[in-house]
């Protein structure tokens, strides 16, 4: 079942440019390899980087998070994830 995930990253100010470049590369890879359908990266008022990724199913997301997975390699001090199931009306997420 498709779902959305929110990611919160604590990134040193001096590494935010590097993180954003790595994020763009990671999203291209995740769209191609894991089926991530869409994403958005933003900065919160406290400087935390926040992203939303739409995933077609849990297995694709899990592959991107494990050691050696695309999201596990981003340059950050910490990452937190929150997942939300999408409504049943969402039948399929396109790549």
- Return the pLDDT at 47: 93
32 lies in some domain: yes
93 lies in some domain: no
43 lies in some domain: yes
- Return the pLDDT at 55: 82
Half-sphere exposure of 5 (CA within 13 A, CB side): 20
Determine the structural domain holding residue 77 and report its residue range: 3-85
One pLDDT digit (tens) per residue for the chain, 95 residues:
778 889 899 999 999 999 999 888 888 888 888 778 888 899 999 999 999 888 877 777 777 766 556 676 778 888 888 887 777 666 555 54
94 lies in some domain: no
Contacts of 44 (CB under 8 A, 6+ apart): 50
- Return the pLDDT at 50: 94
Give the ranges where 1-95 is alpha helix by DSSP (H): 16-33, 58-65
């Amino acid at each position: 079942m498709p779902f959305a995930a929110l990611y919160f990253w604590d990134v040193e100010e001096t590494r935010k440019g590097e993180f954003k470049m790595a994020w763009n590369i990671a999203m291209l890879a995740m769209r191609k390899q894991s089926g991530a359908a869409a994403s958005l990266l933003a900065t919160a008022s406290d400087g935390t980087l926040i992203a939303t990724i739409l995933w077609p199913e849990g297995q694709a997301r899990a592959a991107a998070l494990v050691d050696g997975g695309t999201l596990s390699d981003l340059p950050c001090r910490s990452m937190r994830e929150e997942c939300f199931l999408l409504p049943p009306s969402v039948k399929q997420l396109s790549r």
